[in-house]
Amino acid sequence: MFESLEGLLTWIGAGGGAGVIAYWLIERIPTATWDPFWKRVFSLTLTGAFAVGAFFAAVGMGYRPGCPDWRCWVEQVVATVGLAITTSQTVHGALKLERKA
C-alpha cells in the first residue's frame, strides 16, 4: 500500500489517514459505558494527535519542509487537524449513520 515511510506519514498526516486509523481504533475500544459526548471528544482528540504526530514526524525526517515562523506552524497544525477530523467524521457518517431515502 505504501512504498515508503514518507508515503505512510503523508497519508496519516495529510491524506486523512489519521481519521481512518482513529475511527478503526475507537470501534475496537470498549466504549459502551462512555458518555457519548466524551467518546466524541476522545475520538476527535485521538484523530488530531495522530495527524499532528505524523506531520511532525514527516518534518523531522525531512519529508516536509519546516516553517519559517510560528504563524506557519500554527496554520499547518490547524489545517492538519481539520483535515483529519473532517475525514474521521466522513468515514463515521458513511459507515454508521442511518441512510434515509
The pLDDT score that the predictor gives to residue 78 is 93
Would residue 101 count as lying in a domain?
Answer: no
Would residue 99 count as lying in a domain?
Answer: no
Would residue 98 count as lying in a domain?
Answer: no
- Residues of the domain holding 54: 5-93
20-32 pLDDT tens trace: 888 889 889 898 8
Would residue 18 count as lying in a domain?
Answer: yes
* Count of structural domains within the chain: 1
Asked whether the predicted pLDDT for residue 94 surpasses 90, the reply is: no
pLDDT band at 46 (very low <50, low <70, confident <90, very high): very high
CA–CA gap between residue 78 and residue 97 (Å, rounded) = 27
CA–CA gap between residue 90 and residue 82 (Å, rounded) = 12
Would residue 100 count as lying in a domain?
Answer: no
The pLDDT score that the predictor gives to residue 89 is 81
At residue 33, the 3 state secondary structure works out as coil
- One-letter identity of residue 93: G
pTM: 0.83
